[in-house]
C-alpha cells in the first residue's frame, strides 16, 4: 500500500470516528457471512444527524401503514364523481374505507391498508386475498388550497377507465407488488408464484430506509461495535463519488471544474435503480453494481423521450442526466441534493444551487438569459407534469432550443424514427461527443437492409466501452435477417455486464448451434439470465408472452404453450398474447386454433397493421381465400402506406385468378413505392399472366 493510500484511509477513519462509527481501521478482517438488513433505527445510534435529515423526507414517507397520523386525504363521508360512477370515502371503526367500482363493475367496499407517497400527492393501497396490493386511482392532492390542492382527483380525469381496461385500478398496471414496490420499500422481494398467480411479498423496511441505498449493514454494524473496520467499512457499496477531489472555480469561464477527474459515478448508478425507466433483471438486487448489471435501462425510445432526449413519459431523471454535460464533467447526485433529506443543498431557491458552480456575475445576468431573469431551471430544466399535479424537471441541463439544431443528435434520432435514415445514423454514431445513451439509440434505429457500412457501425458498437452502446448494437443486429449477419458480436455473451449478455442471448438464439466454442459455452448462462429477468415480471402478460416466445424459439413447445396460456389467463384481451400464441400454433400445425387467436388479436387492436396483415395471410393459408381478400382489402384501405399488406393482397388476388384486380392493386403499390424493385417484379409477373 502506498503512503498516500495509508494517509487517505487514516483521514477517512478519523472522519468516521468523529461521526461515532469507528476508532481504528484494520487492513485485513476475518471472512464474514453475507450481511443482512438491520433497519434504519440501528443506523441512527451513530448517524444521528443523517437520520434526522432523513426523517420526514419523501424516502422516509414513501409508504406507511394507514392511520390518522399518515392519511392526508379527506375521509369524512365524502363522495367523488367519476363519469357515471360514484366513489365514497369514509371511516368505520378507525379504518379508512372506500366504496367504489370493483373489477366486475359492481360497487364494493375496500379497506385502505397503506398510504403511498406524501407530496404533492398521496395514493392509497388496498390489499386483495391473492397478496396483491392495488393502488386506487382516486388520489389526494396534498398541495395547499392556494396551489389548487386539498382535493380528490382521478388520475385519468379526462377519459373513462372502466373494469376490464388494463389501466383500471384493479388491473396489472396498478399492482403495487410489481409496478411500484421495489422503489418504495427496502429489500423488497415480490414473492410471485406463477402457478397460483399469487404474491407473498416481503420487505425489511416499509419505506426507503438507509439500507435501500447503502445496502445491508449488519457487517458494518459489527465492525463499528468491534471498532475494527475493513477497507470498505463493512458496506457493499461505496457512494463517495467525489473522493479527494474538490470543485474549483474557473474565473475565466465562470464554471467550476473538478480538481481531479471523476472516475467514479456510483451515485447515478445506485440512485438510477429507482430514478430511471428500467426493468429489474433479478429479484435480488446487487449493491455496488452498475445499473446496467442489475436492470435493463430504457434507451431514448419514442414513447418515453422526445427525439432530442427531453423527457416525455415518466422516465425518472437518470436517462436525461446521463445525456448532460454536467454528468460528463463529473457532477454527481449529491453535488446538488442532500442525500438524506433529498432537498437541495443550497436551499429552496434553485438559483443558489446553480451558483455553487456557475458564477452569478456571469450567468445571472440579462445578457445571459436574454429575458427577465428568473430561475435558471425554468430555462435549463423545464418541467413536465405527471399524475395530474407532479411537476418533474428534465435533468439534461440543455441550452433552450439546442435540440432543434441540425448538429444535435436529436435531429438524427427524429429522422431514424420516421424514415430509413441509416447514412445519417451511421455518421452520428461515430460522434464520440454525443452521450452514450444517444449513440445507443441511434444504433438501435438502424434498419434493414444492411450493407457493409451498417455492419461496420454495428461491429464498432460491439466494442464500445459503454454497455448501452453495446446493447444498441445488438438491437440493430437483431433487426437484420439471421442468414446474412453471421455470428459477429457473439463474444458479448461473455460480456461483464448482465444486460449486455441478456441482449446478446436474445440476438443469437437462432444461431446458437453456429457459435464459436467459447461463446457457445456462454450461451446457456446468458439465456438463463434472460429467462430469470422475465420470470421477475411473470405476473405481467407482456413478460409471459416473451417467456412463451423464448421457450418456443428454444424448441420447448410445452413450456411455451404454458406461458402463452398464462398470459391469456392474466389478461384475456391482451392482443399481443393472442397474436403470439396464434403464430406459435401455426408453427405447431394447429391451424384452426391459430386462426382464432390471430383473428382475436386483429379485432382487439384494429389499429395494428401487422395484426391485420397476419390475419389475412393466415386466413389464406387455411384455404379461406375469399375471407383473406376481404381482410387484406379492408386493411389496405386503412393502411395505405403498408407495403406488405398491398403486396399480399395483390398476390392472393393473382393466385385466385383475379388478375385484373391484382394488377390494379399492384399499380397502386408501384405508385406509392416507386423505387421498390419488388413492386416492379410483381407488376411484370402480372403482365405476363394476362
The alpha helices in 60-156, defined as continuous H runs, are none
Q: Cα(171)–Cα(548) distance, rounded to whole angstroms? A: 21
Q: Is 284 helix (H, G, I), strand (E, B) or coil?
A: coil
Packing angle between helix 609-621 and helix 625-638, nearest 10 degrees? Answer: 160
Confidence band for 148, pLDDT divided at 50, 70 and 90: very high
Average pLDDT over residues 656-666: 91
Upstream peptide bond of 449 is cis (omega within 30 degrees of 0): yes
Residues 221 and 321 in one domain: no
Residues 45 and 167 in one domain: no
Between the alpha carbon of residue 114 and those of residues 138, 387, 546, the distances in Å are 14, 19, 33
Last residue of a domain, one of 371, 404, 437: 404
Whole-number pLDDT of residue 390:
95
Q: List beta partners, residue 124.
A: 115
Q: Is the separation of the CB atoms in 51 and 43 below 8 Å?
A: yes
Between the alpha carbon of residue 355 and those of residues 248, 373, 376, the distances in Å are 13, 14, 10
Long-range Cβ pairs for the range 564-569 (8 Å, 24+): 566/194, 566/197, 566/538, 567/541, 567/542, 568/541, 569/197
Helix (H) or strand (E) holding 63: strand 63-65
Residues 276 and 330 in one domain: yes
Residue 513: inside a domain: no
With a cut of 50, say whether residue 5 has pLDDT above it: no
Q: Cα(482)–Cα(17) distance, rounded to whole angstroms? A: 61
With a cut of 70, say whether residue 551 has pLDDT above it: yes
Helix (H) or strand (E) holding 134: strand 133-135
Residue 431: inside a domain: no
With a cut of 80, say whether residue 11 has pLDDT above it: no
What does the pLDDT look like over 506-542, one tens digit per residue?
999 999 999 999 999 999 999 999 999 999 999 999 9
Residues 185 and 223 in one domain: no
Residues 330 and 215 in one domain: no
Q: Cα(117)–Cα(62) distance, rounded to whole angstroms? A: 5
Upstream peptide bond of 120 is cis (omega within 30 degrees of 0): yes
Confidence band for 690, pLDDT divided at 50, 70 and 90: low
Whole-number pLDDT of residue 32:
62
Whole-number pLDDT of residue 15:
38
Task: Please tell me the number of Cα atoms within 13 Å of 199 on its side-chain side.
Answer: 24
Task: Find the angle CA(668)-CA(674)-CA(677) to the nearest 5 degrees.
Answer: 105
Residues 107 and 28 in one domain: no
Last residue of a domain, one of 388, 404, 420: 404
**What DSSP line would sit under 618-687, residue for residue?**
HHHHTT-HHHHHHHHHHHHHH-TT-HHHHHHHHHHHHHTT-HHHHHHHHHHHHHHSTT-HHHHHHHHHHH
Residue 440: inside a domain: no
Task: Find the angle CA(385)-CA(306)-CA(635) to the nearest 5 degrees.
Answer: 110
With a cut of 50, say whether residue 330 has pLDDT above it: yes
Q: Is the separation of the CB atoms in 461 and 479 below 8 Å?
A: no
Average pLDDT over residues 248-256: 93
Whole-number pLDDT of residue 449:
83
Host domain of residue 679: 606-690
With a cut of 90, say whether residue 606 has pLDDT above it: yes
Q: What is the CA radius of gyration of the chain?
A: 29
Residue 237: inside a domain: no
Confidence band for 685, pLDDT divided at 50, 70 and 90: confident
Confidence band for 689, pLDDT divided at 50, 70 and 90: low
Residues 636 and 669 in one domain: yes
Q: Is the separation of the CB atoms in 115 and 122 below 8 Å?
A: yes
The alpha helices in 28-76, defined as continuous H runs, are 40-44, 48-54
With a cut of 50, say whether residue 250 has pLDDT above it: yes
Whole-number pLDDT of residue 180:
87
Average pLDDT over residues 399-403: 86
Whole-number pLDDT of residue 101:
95
Whole-number pLDDT of residue 1:
39
Whole-number pLDDT of residue 373:
61
- 3-state DSSP of 247-281: EEEECCCCEEEECCCCCCCHHHHHHCCCCCCEEEC
Residue 432: inside a domain: no
Which grid coordinates belong to 421?
435514415
Confidence band for 25, pLDDT divided at 50, 70 and 90: very low
Q: Is 91 helix (H, G, I), strand (E, B) or coil?
A: strand
Residues 267 and 374 in one domain: yes
Average pLDDT over residues 273-297: 95
Confidence band for 31, pLDDT divided at 50, 70 and 90: low
Residues 118 and 38 in one domain: no
Residue 137: inside a domain: yes
Average pLDDT over residues 374-387: 91
Q: Cα(528)–Cα(548) distance, rounded to whole angstroms? A: 14
Last residue of a domain, one of 346, 380, 404: 404
Give helix then strand counts, H and E, for the chain.
31, 19
Long-range Cβ pairs for the range 84-88 (8 Å, 24+): 84/160, 87/138
Confidence band for 164, pLDDT divided at 50, 70 and 90: confident
What does the pLDDT look like over 404-452, one tens digit per residue?
888 999 999 999 999 889 999 999 999 999 999 999 999 999 988 888 9
Average pLDDT over residues 550-572: 96
Cα–chain-centroid distance for residue 309?
Answer: 15
Whole-number pLDDT of residue 243:
85
Residues 47 and 162 in one domain: no
With a cut of 90, say whether residue 231 has pLDDT above it: no
Residues 170 and 317 in one domain: no
With a cut of 60, say whether residue 28 has pLDDT above it: no
Q: How many domains does one find in the chain?
A: 4
**Closest among 575, 569, 573, 576 to 130, alpha carbons compared:** 569
Question: Taking the complete model, does pTM exceed 0.75, yes or no?
Answer: yes
Confidence band for 673, pLDDT divided at 50, 70 and 90: confident
Residues 215 and 188 in one domain: no
Residue 661: inside a domain: yes
Residue 392: inside a domain: yes
What CATH number should be reported for the domain holding residue 610? 1.25.40.10
Confidence band for 371, pLDDT divided at 50, 70 and 90: low
What does the pLDDT look like over 45-88, one tens digit per residue?
999 999 999 999 999 999 999 999 999 999 999 999 999 999 99
Residue 602: CB atoms within 10 A of its CB come to 25
Amino acid at each position: 500500500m502506498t503512503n498516500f493510500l495509508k494517509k487517505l484511509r487514516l483521514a477517512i477513519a478519523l472522519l468516521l470516528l468523529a461521526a461515532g462509527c469507528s476508532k481504528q481501521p484494520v487492513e485485513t478482517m476475518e471472512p464474514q457471512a453475507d450481511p443482512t438488513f438491520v433497519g434504519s433505527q440501528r443506523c441512527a445510534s451513530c448517524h444521528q444527524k443523517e437520520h434526522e435529515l432523513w426523517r420526514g423526507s419523501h424516502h422516509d414517507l414513501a409508504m406507511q401503514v394507514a392511520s390518522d397520523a399518515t392519511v392526508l386525504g379527506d375521509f369524512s363521508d365524502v363522495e367523488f364523481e367519476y363519469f357515471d360512477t360514484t366513489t365514497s370515502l369514509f371511516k368505520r371503526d378507525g379504518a379508512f374505507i372506500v366504496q367504489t367500482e370493483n373489477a366486475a363493475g359492481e360497487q364494493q367496499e375496500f379497506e385502505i391498508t397503506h398510504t403511498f407517497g406524501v407530496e404533492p400527492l398521496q395514493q392509497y393501497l388496498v390489499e386483495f386475498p391473492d397478496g396483491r396490493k392495488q393502488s386506487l386511482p382516486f388520489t389526494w392532492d396534498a398541495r395547499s388550497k392556494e396551489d389548487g390542492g386539498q382535493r380528490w382527483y382521478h388520475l385519468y380525469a379526462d377519459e373513462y377507465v372502466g373494469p376490464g381496461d388494463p389501466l383500471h385500478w384493479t388491473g396489472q398496471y396498478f399492482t403495487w407488488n410489481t409496478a411500484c414496490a421495489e422503489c418504495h420499500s427496502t429489500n423488497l422481494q415480490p414473492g410471485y408464484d406463477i402457478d397460483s398467480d399469487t404474491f407473498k411479498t416481503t420487505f425489511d423496511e416499509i419505506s426507503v430506509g438507509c439500507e435501500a441505498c447503502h445496502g445491508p449493514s449488519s457487517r458494518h454494524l459489527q465492525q463499528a461495535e468491534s471498532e475494527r473496520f475493513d477497507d470498505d467499512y463493512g458496506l457493499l457499496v461505496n457512494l463517495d463519488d467525489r473522493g479527494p477531489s474538490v470543485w474549483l472555480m474557473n474565473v475565466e469561464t465562470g464554471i467550476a471544474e473538478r480538481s481531479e477527474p471523476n472516475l467514479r459515478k456510483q451515485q447515478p448508478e445506485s440512485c438510477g435503480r429507482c430514478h430511471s425507466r428500467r426493468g429489474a433483471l433479478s429479484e435480488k438486487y446487487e449493491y455496488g453494481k452498475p445499473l446496467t448489471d442489475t436492470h435493463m435501462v430504457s434507451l431514448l425510445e419514442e414513447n418515453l423521450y422526445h427525439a432530442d432526449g427531453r423527457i416525455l413519459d415518466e422516465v425518472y431523471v437518470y436517462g436525461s442526466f446521463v445525456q448532460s454535460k454536467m454528468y460528463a464533467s463529473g457532477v454527481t447526485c449529491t453535488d446538488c441534493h442532500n442525500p438524506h433529506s433529498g432537498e437541495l443543498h443550497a436551499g429552496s431557491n434553485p438559483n443558489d444551487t446553480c451558483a455553487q458552480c456557475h458564477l452569478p456575475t456571469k450567468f445571472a445576468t440579462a445578457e445571459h438569459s436574454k429575458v427577465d431573469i428568473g430561475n435558471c431551471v425554468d430555462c435549463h430544466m423545464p418541467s413536465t407534469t405527471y399524475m395530474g399535479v407532479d411537476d418533474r424537471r428534465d435533468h439534461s441541463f440543455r441550452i433552450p432550443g439546442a435540440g432543434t439544431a441540425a448538429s444535435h443528435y436529436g435531429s438524427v434520432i427524429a429522422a431514424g424514427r420516421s424514415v430509413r435514415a441509416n447514412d445519417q445514423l451511421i455518421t452520428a454514431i461515430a460522434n464520440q461527443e454525443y452521450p452514450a445513451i444517444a449513440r445507443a439509440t441511434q444504433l438501435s434505429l438502424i434498419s434493414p437492409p444492411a450493407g457493409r457500412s451498417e455492419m461496420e457501425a454495428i461491429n464498432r458498437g460491439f466494442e464500445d466501452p459503454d454497455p448501452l452502446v453495446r446493447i444498441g448494437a445488438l438491437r440493430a443486429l437483431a433487426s437484420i435477417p439471421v442468414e446474412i449477419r453471421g455470428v459477429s458480436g457473439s463474444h458479448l455473451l461473455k460480456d461483464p455486464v448482465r444486460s449486455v449478455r441478456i441482449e446478446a442471448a436474445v440476438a443469437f438464439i437462432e444461431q446458437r448451434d453456429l457459435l464459436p466454442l467459447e461463446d457457445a459455452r456462454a450461451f446457456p448462462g446468458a439465456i438463463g439470465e434472460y429467462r430469470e429477468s422475465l420470470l421477475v415480471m411473470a405476473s405481467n402478460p407482456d413478460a409471459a408472452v416473451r417467456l412463451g416466445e423464448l421457450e418456443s424459439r428454444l424448441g420447448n413447445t410445452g413450456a411455451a404453450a404454458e406461458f402463452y396460456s398464462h398470459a391469456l389467463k392474466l389478461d384475456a384481451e391482451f392482443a399481443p398474447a393472442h397474436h403470439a400464441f396464434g403464430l406459435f400454433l401455426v408453427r405447431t400445425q394447429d391451424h384452426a386454433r391459430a386462426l382464432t387467436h390471430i383473428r382475436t388479436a386483429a379485432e382487439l387492436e384494429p389499429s395494428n397493421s401487422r395484426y391485420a396483415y397476419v390475419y389475412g395471410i393466415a386466413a389464406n393459408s387455411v384455404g379461406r381465400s375469399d375471407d383473406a381478400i376481404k381482410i387484406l382489402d379492408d386493411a389496405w384501405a386503412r393502411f395505405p402506406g403498408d407495403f406488405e399488406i398491398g403486396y399480399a393482397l395483390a398476390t392472393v388476388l393473382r393466385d385466385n385468378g383475379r388478375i385484373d384486380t391484382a394488377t390494379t392493386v399492384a399499380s397502386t403499390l408501384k405508385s406509392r413505392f416507386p423505387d421498390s424493385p419488388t413492386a416492379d417484379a410483381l407488376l411484370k409477373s402480372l403482365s405476363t399472366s394476362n
